[in-house]
Amino acid sequence: MTLLSLHNVTKRFGGLTAVNGLTFDLAMGETVGLLGPNGSGKTTALNLISGYLPLSDGSITLSGDAIGTLPPERIAHRGVARTFQLVRALPSLSVGENVLAALAFRKSPLWGQQAEAQIEALLADVGLSGRASQPADSLTYIDLKRMELARALASDPQLLLLDEWLAGLNPTELRAGIDLITSLRQRGITILLVEHVMDAIRALCSRCVVMNAGTKIADGPTSEVLADREVIRAYLGDEHA
Amino acid sequence: MMKLVFALAALAALALVPAFAGPYPLGLGIGILGYGVLATAWAMFSGPTRYISLATVAFFGLGAYTVAVLADMLPYPLVLLVAAFVGLVVALIVGLATLRLAGIYFVIFTFGLTELVRQLVTYYEVNVTRTLGRYVFLPLGPEHIYWQLLALLAATLAIAFWVSRARIGLALRVIGDDPVVASHLGIRITRTKLTLFSISCVIMTLAGAIQAPRWTYIEPSIVFNPTTSFLVVIMALLGGPNRLFGPLLGAVPLFLLFEWLSANFPNHYSIILGLLFIAIVFVLPNGVLAAGDSLWSRLTRREARP
């Protein structure tokens, strides 16, 4: 069953077309990698899905309902949560309050004691158990990423958009990160993953969509897509294709 | 519970002040309460969102003018209600027009709004009513104004306390930290900001309305004086705009200082005010309460070290 559907999605910034006629579907429970070299339009595509940017053309549907013209808060209420390429913590809040901010404003909000129990459970899920009262701006980079993921999960999403969530991690942290995303997949959350870490993509994604210069150049099973000549050319240049 | 008892006892003690204080100390008390209300109401919205509003005096002046216009026509409590309604309507119009702005654009707009309101009132008075100033004759003594302001301050602090613990307070803090994250978490940014901005502006309007009988004679240059907006910002920043009692704590010493400065250095008052503003922003960006906390935690950390 299709959860997310992009049809001919286009985004223009003046004379620059950042995303050009992007079309693909995401089935319920699927984990799909959205790949491409820097500047290929991956993050712009996520920004269009989450409502951060308005579409120039095309349509996006979630469970059959058009969401392409909705503002981010209404898309969030329909079950789309995300992390950001550059971690966006709420620095004046504690770690727990960062998570509470998502619990308190999701479609079925939690507040008070119910929320507190949930905050601890979510922080434990991402390896931040017992850190709720710590100021968010005192966390290390990896812990900020964990907190941002806990915040996204607190929205109770059916679709999770992860924008290079595994970037910048050391091998041990990467392993833990892959295990964490695997556990989310096992919970039935549909995940669209923008990522450059190929080990993670192989481990997590059964399917990949590849973009180059705003256009989709490949879409299929991960092993086939990663061996595709055009994908290799886009990443590494003509001499390697 | 103990805190509530203490707060009620403090309120009762403050309510007894007019029985003991002479006219001058009572006047100072009214000034402190008036600025305390304005600074607390200002911080309720501008503290968490970091939207620096310079429109305080626009609402304060509207409240005062509403009383001046309607005092002869309606019973006083009804005049206050109408003033609150006027403040609410203007706040909703201004909020809908400006709260999508951020940063310096919002600051400039709110500053311009004050001037616009002042000029509109002046134009109306000169060209329609053919008079510039108005007399306010109400059978209210300074002690009545003091008690009303004290009640308004208590209500403002109670609302600020509720906001700081309610979902809407958290929403404002999230918006202040990162509006992009706020919208992606499902927070309705414009509605949240508009709600708190309106509450804050209604309180400011009431503060102006309650103080109108104090002047007896009012005109736009008195009740729409932009210095009031700047004073309120400095007071809130000095005490700490994100603490419940911070703005009030800033209002007490600064009001007394400004009184002294304006009496003793009338020609240099504005220069000193400007320098003080700069000094507070540089030295105490989060206010004295936060600076005190930070100093305390540094001292205790040093003591804890072997």
Domain check: are A185 and A96 in the same one?
no
Query: Same domain, yes or no, for A14 and A119?
Result: no
Q: Taking 70 as the threshold, does the pLDDT of residue B75 lie above it?
A: yes
pLDDT for res B271: 87
Instruction: Say if the Cβ atoms of A104 and B167 lie within 8 Å.
Output: yes
Confidence grade of residue B60 (pLDDT, cut at 50, 70, 90) = very high
Nearest-by-CA chain A residue for B180: A52
pLDDT above 60 (res B256): yes
A112 shares a domain with A11: no
**Mind telling me how many Å the CA of B157 is from chain A's nearest CA?**
22
Q: What is the mean pLDDT of residues B36-63?
A: 94
| Same domain assignment for residues A95 and A133 | yes
Residues A82 and A50 sit within 8 Å (Cβ to Cβ): yes
pLDDT value at position A42?
A: 93
Distance CA A120, CA A127 (A): 10
- Asked if A9 and A108 sit in the same domain, the reply is no
Hey, are the CB atoms on B186 and A107 less than 8 Å from each other?
yes
Neighbours of A39 (CB within 10 A): 13
- Interface with A, mutate which of B185, B187, B242 (most A CBs under 10 A): B185
The answer to whether position A175 is within a domain reads yes
Both tokens assigned to A240: 């390697």
Q: What are phi and psi of A60, to 5 degrees?
A: -130, 130
Q: Determine the Cα–Cα distance for residues B183 and B166; give it in Å rounded to an integer.
A: 18
pLDDT (0 to 100) of residue B17: 87
Nearest CA in chain A to B177: A90
3 state DSSP class of B99: coil
**Nearest CB to B177: which of A73, A92, A106?**
A92
From the list B254, B217, B211, the residue with the least C-alpha distance to B232 is B254
Nearest CA in chain A to B286: A92
Same domain, residue pair A63 and A119: no
A–B interface: beta-carbon pairs under 8 A:
69
For chain A, what is the domain count?
2
Q: Which residues of B94-110 are buried (b: 16+ CB within 10 A; e: fewer)?
A: bbeebbeeeeeebbebb
Please identify, among A151, A184, A201, the residue that sits at the C-terminal boundary of a domain: A151
CA distance B276 to A132: 38
Q: How far apart are CA A193 and CA B199, in angstroms?
A: 43
Please report residues of B whose CB lies closer than 8 A to that of A76: 183-186
* Claim to verify: residue A15 and residue A55 sit in the same structural domain: yes
Q: For testing the chain B interface, which of A73, A80, A111, A147 should be mutated: the one with the most B CBs within 10 Å?
A: A73
Please say which residue of A151, A175, A195 terminates a domain: A151
Nearest CB partner across the interface for A73, out of B167, B176, B187: B187
Regions of chain A where pLDDT drops below 50: none
With a cut of 90, say whether residue B36 has pLDDT above it.
yes
pLDDT value of position B129: 83
**Residue B22 amino acid letter:** G
Which of B31, B23, B6 has its CA nearest to residue B258? B31
Same domain, A99 and A196: no
Which two three-digit tokens encode residue B35? 């600025």
pLDDT of residue A238: 67
Are the Cβ atoms of A93 and B183 closer than 8 angstroms?
no
Rounded Cα distance between B220 and B287, Å, is 32
Any domain includes A84: no
Q: Does the distance separating the beta carbons of A155 and B186 come in below 8 Å?
A: yes
Closest-CA distance of chain B to residue A77, Å: 6
B16: alpha, beta or left? (left if phi > 0; alpha if psi -120 to 50): alpha
Q: What percent of chain B has pLDDT over 90?
A: 49
pLDDT band at B154; cut points 50, 70, 90: very high
Look at residue A216 and tell me if it is in a domain: yes
Q: Which residues of A touch B297 (CB under 8 A)?
A: none
pLDDT of res. A236: 67
Mean pLDDT score, B290-301: 73
CB contact under 8 A, A92 and B183: no
Domain assignment present for A215: yes
**ipTM confidence score:** 0.92
Quick check: B300 pLDDT over 80? Answer: no
Model pLDDT, residue B21 = 83
Residues A100 and A129 in one domain: yes
Specify the CATH number for the domain of residue A17: 3.40.50.300
What's the confidence (pLDDT) of residue A219?
A: 92
Q: Do A76 and B185 touch (CB under 8 A)?
A: yes
Task: Count the alpha carbons within 13 Å of A111 in the hemisphere toward its beta carbon.
Answer: 13
pLDDT at A241: 59
Q: Which domain holds residue A137?
A: 89-151
pLDDT of residue B304: 59
Question: pLDDT tens digits for B80-120?
Answer: 999 999 999 999 998 888 777 777 888 898 899 889 989 99
Q: Nearest CA to CA, how far is B64 from chain A (Å)?
A: 37
CB of A13 within 8 Å of any CB in chain B?
A: no
Chain B residues in contact with A84 (beta carbon < 8 A): 181
How many CB atoms neighbour CB B161 within 10 A? 15
Q: Do A90 and B167 touch (CB under 8 A)?
A: no
- Residue A141 confidence (pLDDT): 87
pLDDT at B22 over 70: yes
Average pLDDT over chain B reads 89
Note whether A26 and A136 are same-domain residues.
no
Give yes or no for B176 touching A (CB within 8 A): yes
Asked if A74 and A119 sit in the same domain, the reply is no
| Domain endpoint, select from A124, A151, A178 | A151
**Same domain, residue pair A104 and A131:** yes
Q: Which residue has the higher pLDDT, A172 or B40?
A: B40
Q: What is the DSSP letter of A21?
A: E
* pLDDT(B219) > 70: yes
In this prediction the pTM is: 0.88
In-domain check, residue A219: yes
